[in-house]
Structure 1
Amino acid sequence: MAHVRELVAPLLLGAVALVALGGCSADAAQGSNTDPDQVDAVAAPELGACRVLTPEDVKQSSNATRTVDCSEPHTAQTYVVGGLPDSLEDVDRDSEELGAWAYKTCSQRFMGFLGADESLAMRAVVSWAWFRPSEKAWEDGARWYRCDLVGGGDQSKDYVDLPEDAKGLFWGKLPDRWLVCASGASVSGSVKIPCSQPHDWRAVTTIKLGEKGDSYPGDRLVQVRTRDFCTESVGAWLSYPVNYQIGYTWFHEAEWQAGNRRSVCWAKTDS
């Protein structure tokens, strides 16, 4: 019988998703990389534009970072721009309703843009962020949203550069540079890095815990079902060694209500 050591990590929404759910109300920070014409722009941003965003930029609810030519080094690409639906015209700029709608919209379009299914999208080193108009632009009637692909995740210290055009990035066999691994004693709180770098953990599978419209089953049931599935699936991925370590990350009710239905299984491995 295999001896399995569990290293669990209940995972709340990180920087990207917190912005998605409307948890951050700060406007775009002013700095040398800011385009003054974008700061309080009422007109929607440019689709396909590339920028050099940082994790700090992604923590803000709006963004006015200068665009760069996509042939130059960049860490973000705008893959969706649009106006808000009529049902959200009168909501508050930082409302949970707006954040939940943006979460669902950007995450669905994220998978389509990359060519990824839900499981692969959750195990990729890239993620997404969304931005809304500044407070002044909102007061002036701006009602657009912008979804950006970014070269990192919620615990990334730095973002990696994206290709000139990231559309269809996940079509075909995906190299390790775009898959997410972790460096640290445990999955929880560890630095998430591309699997092409030295690492201790690799995200190998996911488990779907419900369908759209299902009620949240509760933290305990989510954890137990995740643990049982990950114990088996990680063992299979490692070809059932005598001893192995697993990690798993699961989400809570707020993320469930926003549309997430998957937990992630991690294998202790350096390859």
Structure 2
Amino acid sequence: MSEHVMVCEVGPRDGLQMAKSVMPTEAKCAWIGALAASGLREIEVGSFVPAKLIPQMADTDAVVRFSRGIPGLTVVALAPNLRGAEAALAAGAHRISIPVSVSEGHSRANLNRSPDEQVAVVAKIVAWMREAGDKAEIEVACSTAFGCSIDGAVPEHAVVRIASALAEAGVSQIALADTVGYANPAQIKSVVRAVRAEIGPVLRGLHLHDTMGLGIANALAGLEAGIRDFDSALAGLGGCPFAPGASGNIVTEDLVFMLESMGFETGIDLAKLIAARGLLHAGLPAEPMHGQLAKAGIPRTFQKAA
């Protein structure tokens, strides 16, 4: 059997938060259903943030509750603080993703807190969940782990320090996020190895953007460094409203094509994944859609991993 790689679709959260219009809830749920039907087993369906800040996420409670009804799907929701975590658990999210910026500038812009203050928030959420006896997982995405459009270069030792503090706080898993898409393959390998040397298997995944056109190359570098869990977005949607210049996530279709072509198993049907683009376009007809596979079509040489 081929080695499995987990692909978490983040389009309904990271993708839609930058959309110029709001996708209707019914259309959003239909799209998530189609994504799950393609074989995606993890989907980040929304974020529990104030609707006045990100109106595209105003219906996250309803979307989480709908998604909970999809058999076999791990429902992920982002929450920046304890109030958001409480709402995510009440709605039924299986995993809560909490952002912690490594760079000071992005942390202040995104959360109005320093990185260390946000680490303390995470520790409080972990303690609260343990007291409550809830079994939902807590994942932390170390944002701007490879560079920041506000502060510039982010030292590797700063990433290791924040990841180590989060592991000590007791989070279930940590992902390294190239929030603004500035990373290169050599940097990906170096930072992954440095963080893993410090925290071991708590480092689980990579969240990559394609601002400089290196997103898929960076995913390959992550694979070579031992990462087997990646975030991506259908049609390459996404970006960060608090990170100037950040563009979309790596394209789910292109990532799955690369993985399966290399012999990794994802459990995802490429034809069904491409078909799900139709529901995305119907819900957000003015939004640009990216991806080389959808443009070229599945080649006749493609063989799905066994």
| Bigger helix fraction | 2
Bigger strand share = 1
Higher CA-based Rg: 1
> Whose relative contact order is higher, 1 or 2, with alpha carbons under 8 Å and at least 6 apart?
1
